[in-house]
Amino acid sequence: MSQPDVIVIGAGVVGLSAALGLQGRGLSVTVIDREGPAAGASAGNASCFAFSEIMPLASPATLMKAPRWLLDPLGPLTVPPRYAARIAPWMMRFAMASLPGRMRHSTEAQTALMDLARTELEPFLQANGHSNLLRKYGNLQPYESEREFRANLPAWEARERHGIGFRHLTRAEMDDIQPGLAPRFISGTFTPSYWSISDPKDYTLALAERFVGQGGRLEQAAVSQLGVVGEMVHIDGQPAAPRVVLAAGAHSHRIARSLGDRIPLETERGYNTTLPVDAVDLRVQLTFGGHGFMVTRLDDGIRVGGAVELGGLEAPPNYRRAQAMLDKAKAFLPELDTSNGRQWMGFRPTLPDTLPVIGPSRAGDRVIYAFGNGHLGLTQSAAMARLVGDLVTGQPPAIDISPFAASRF
């Protein structure tokens, strides 16, 4: 079997998007994944292209809310007590990244990446025959009080400065877009450019099918070590390919360590419940920002999920978190039928400054990193494909990637 030009480690939406992008540049590609395509967070995410989410999670606003959230084990942000000591250094980095100057830097970098993602998405879908899977429902964020609305205004003003369109709505205007919200919500903000995919798992599997159909190879194996020897990258001690792209999601930092890069990646353990498609008349995506979760319309279901549990890779799922969000969704959408749901938990790889790692490894540019997108992997996948393609083929990156360098840590 001939040696490929590039091996991509990771068959999630970022890895497969990168693999297809590399194929489009005339390279032969093999994808290796420990479980196979769409086995991780790419299978159960909220299905959103959230281009307007330019504000990093690491921010003064999050620091102010964090103490209250952390007191609620089923709330929007939690750290299980058994994991608290282990994650303390990461939390310190998060706090430092939340300082106003650092947050502005992260916001500028995130905005550039989001702009590229929005520009690249539709051409990427069209090139790979998946334009029919894109949905443009838009997103509505309801507010329970004038105080909550005012607290969100700085973020909306920042988005406006960056050219992101939205409309603040009265309760009556909100009802025209999404009937059935509980009376507790007095107003909202609608973002038309908040798109989605028909189903994230089906989309990722479609990427895999397209990749194989174009001559790519998919292999199932757990990679633990990389090494660069001359002009060849070795995988677990064996010569593999001249170039490797590391896009292994929540496991990426463990592999990067073998190259000398110590990257403080943690896992946002995300939870959701997918209900039958007729569970409620959902016309737009709904973001309940004060409670840290979304309600999203898929082609074959209604997905209720989100929140952040920083609990590592080993602990068993705590599905009480999924149930807590479902109970709130029922209170917020009284007509929601919560029966016959399927629960899920997945690992979303995240860095303390909320930015991914994009760029060469410490061992040189024969290994390119492309991971750590947190809960924005689907959103940023087309941009990641563009940047990986630029880097592997020696082209100037489409945007400044210095804020995403692994060396920033």
Q: In order of start, what are the domains of the chain with their CATH numbers?
A: 6-408 (3.50.50.60)
- Residues 292-313, mean pLDDT to the nearest whole number: 93
Residue 227 pLDDT level (bands cut at 50, 70, 90): very high
Mean pLDDT along residues 300-310: 92
Q: How long a stretch of residues is the chain?
A: 409
Q: Is the confidence at residue 279, as pLDDT, over 70?
A: yes
Would you state the pLDDT for residue 60? 85
Task: Give pLDDT, residue 162.
Answer: 86
The mean pLDDT value for 336-356 works out to 95
Average pLDDT, the chain: 94
pLDDT reported for residue 62: 84
Percent of the chain clearing pLDDT 90 (strictly above): 85
pLDDT in tens, 11-23: 999 999 999 999 9
Return d(Cα 72, Cα 259) in angstroms, integer. 39
Give the model confidence (pLDDT) of 62-96 as tens digits. Answer: 888 877 777 787 888 888 888 989 999 999 999 99
CA 51 to chain centre: 11
Q: Determine the distance from the C-alpha atom of residue 337 to the mean position of all C-alpha atoms in its chain, rounded to a whole number.
A: 28
Write out pLDDT tens, residues 308-341. Answer: 898 889 889 999 999 999 999 999 999 999 999 9
- At 50, the pLDDT band (50, 70, 90 cuts) reads very high
What is the C-alpha separation between 381 and 79, in angstroms, rounded?
28
**Token match 């990168």: residue?**
18
Q: What is the pLDDT of residue 221?
A: 96
pLDDT of 177: 96
At 1, the pLDDT band (50, 70, 90 cuts) reads: low
Res. 43 pLDDT band, cuts 50 70 90: confident
- What are the tens digits of pLDDT across the range 229-252? 999 999 999 999 999 999 999 999
